[in-house]
Amino acid sequence: MSAERDVLMHYRMARARETLAEADLMAQNGHWHGCVSRLYYACFYAVTALLLRHDLSAGKHAGVRGLVYAVTHGGAGGMLWVTRRIQPPLAVLVALLPTRLHPATALAPALALVLIVDPADSPVLAEPALQQLFALTAAEAGVALALAAGRSAEEIAGEREVSLPTVRTQIRQILEKTGALHLRDLVRLLAGLPTVRPPRTAP
């Protein structure tokens, strides 16, 4: 990362924190229109800094901001492939942050999760990744991966040697934790996660 881009990235993050603090003050005083405006710009500064960190082209900023807006206003989010000047494209996934990980508040009724990953790392989608990302149990993560592979609830129950009601209960829990509206939405969300790694543990 160049020194100039590094300075700009830290400036954008500082502006994001300042603007978020302004939004908090406005909310405390009931100035909701101003609060919403400040929240928007806080997100704008933070996402811009994130994109700068990965040397993304400026033309993709609007697309990512559009996905963040959609997710925080009831949409399902999505994924973009963004080009870099020299290295291969990066995958940018925008999804609704599960309320289990960050409970909704009046100030932030919905939050977006923005993941930027490099396909060159050759990661794989595994149960631990889903457990860390969406707070799923090991069993729920296994069911989620099976659903993403196209298996039905009946097939999953047979393969895992559990009852069908158990699998259906697990599916309901998966939908709740991931924020997916239905099974098709869940499969779409998981299909956009082929390059998400489980967090590395400290040596």
pLDDT exceeding 70 applies to what percent of the chain? 64
Q: What is the pLDDT of residue 5?
A: 75
Q: Does 84 fall in a domain?
A: yes
Q: What is the pLDDT of residue 193?
A: 65
pLDDT category at 98 given cuts 50, 70, 90 is low
Q: Which amino acid is at 21?
A: A
**Would you tell me how many other CB atoms lie within 10 Å of the CB of residue 80?**
18
Burial 23-55 (b: 16+ CB within 10 A, else e): beebbeeeeeeebeebbbbbbbbbbbbbbbbbb
Residues 68 and 9 in one domain: yes
Beta-bridged to residue 91, according to DSSP, are: 81, 117
Q: What is the pLDDT of residue 85?
A: 65
pLDDT category at 104 given cuts 50, 70, 90 is low
For the cut 60, the answer to whether the pLDDT of residue 185 exceeds it is yes
53-75 mean pLDDT: 66
Give residues with Cβ within 8 angstroms of 152, minimum separation 6. Answer: none
For the cut 90, the answer to whether the pLDDT of residue 159 exceeds it is yes
Residues 55 and 75 in one domain: yes
Q: What is the pLDDT of residue 117?
A: 61
Residue at a domain's end among 101, 121, 141: 121
Q: Which amino acid is at 64?
A: V
pLDDT exceeding 90 applies to what percent of the chain? 16
CATH of the domain at 171: 1.10.10.10
172-193 mean pLDDT: 82
Half-sphere exposure of 63 (CA within 13 A, CB side): 15
Residues 92 and 50 in one domain: yes
For the cut 60, the answer to whether the pLDDT of residue 38 exceeds it is yes
Beta-bridged to residue 23, according to DSSP, are: none
Q: Does 72 fall in a domain?
A: yes
Residues 134 and 97 in one domain: no
Q: Residue 169 sits in which domain range?
A: 127-191
Q: What is the pLDDT of residue 83?
A: 66
Q: Structural domain tally of the chain? A: 2
- Cα(104)–Cα(102) distance, integer angstroms: 6
Q: Does 24 fall in a domain?
A: yes
Q: What is the pLDDT of residue 121?
A: 58
- Cα(183)–Cα(189) distance, integer angstroms: 10
Residues 105 and 133 in one domain: no
Chain-centre distance for alpha carbon 35: 23
Residues 66 and 105 in one domain: yes
Torsion angle of alpha carbons 188, 64, 44, 199, nearest 10°? 60
Residues 117 and 182 in one domain: no
Q: What is the pLDDT of residue 58?
A: 46
Q: What is the pLDDT of residue 68?
A: 73
Residues 144 and 160 in one domain: yes
Cα dist from 12 to 80, 91, 118, 197, whole Å: 22, 22, 22, 27
Query: Taking Cα atoms as reference points, which of 140, 127, 129, 135 lies closest to residue 171?
Result: 140
- What tokens does 138 get? 């090991």
Residues 185 and 141 in one domain: yes
